Structure 1
């Protein structure tokens, strides 16, 4: 499923430009992906759309317009609040996954609303605990869905393959 998601991410940046699910399925099949992988990825993407419904990101500084201003939902997190993970979430995300999410939050790269979408979609993944590389793909797909441009250093962190690093 993750290879399909990476292909979608690379070829259809910004969820608004991707074709409808049926056409996307045909394109993925022509690209050589197996039917089961495609169906699982499309189902996961449908869940991403559902989880993202009603969430709009606040515009970047200087970009506020009447159309883009987002009214925070009543459940929006206060800057002083702290996310408490359930036992199921802790088990499914694993220590590395929680650390990754926490790092992105502290860096200001993952708003509380996006964090919740990431957690929702990570819990929808069949593997438990979820591999850190798979969680990073999920995070990238959440950015993709919201057409959010993460900072270059955040992208580097999410796309870096630690196994290929050379110690100096």
Structure 2
């Protein structure tokens, strides 16, 4: 599923630039994705859109997030730490944080792989038509071992 999401991010400027589901399914299938991972990714993206609608206009700039034990278990310490990092950097406001947590919770299994969480964060930005700043993109795309220290 995550490969499909990355493909969509890399090939479509915004979600509204994507073709309708049937045409998009055919396109994704023609580039080599399996039908079950296409369906899973498109269903997951529909969930992003639904969550985005429910969080439209929310403020909550001073909110504090307390994770339930089931969320802690599902997300894992690394993912919760990364979400906290993005919040403290001022790039993940509370409504987007909640979207990330909701969509991460929709992924079966756990604890969630940090690289998968980064794709979820990227797709939340993408679904809202927002481009994260360059430093955050670097955090989302570059593995720590591949970073150059200046």
Q: TM-score of the superposition, structure 2-length normalised?
A: 0.93
Using the TM superposition, give the Cα deviation of residue 6 of structure 1 relative to its aligned residue in structure 2, in angstroms.
Answer: 0.3
Higher relative contact order (CA 8 A, sep 6+): 1
Larger radius of gyration: 1
Q: Where do 1:24-35 residues align within 5 Å?
A: 24-35=24-35
Quick check: 1:42 aligned with 2:24?
no
Aligned-partner SS, 2:79: helix
Aligned-partner Cα distance in 2 for 1:123–1:159:
21
Structure 1 spans left out of the alignment, 5+ residues: 57-71
Quick check: 1:8 aligned with 2:11?
no
Q: Which of 60, 69, 93 is residue 77 of structure 1 equivalent to?
A: 60
Q: Where do 1:155-166 residues align within 5 Å?
A: 155-165=137-147
Size of the aligned set, in residue pairs, is 150
User: RMSD in angstroms over aligned alpha carbons?
Assistant: 1.6
Greater fraction helix: 2
Does the Cα contact within 8 Å between 2:125 and 2:132 map onto a contact in 1?
yes
Does the Cα contact within 8 Å between 2:60 and 2:94 map onto a contact in 1?
yes
Aligned-partner SS, 2:126: helix
| Structure-1 residue corresponding to 2:123 | 141
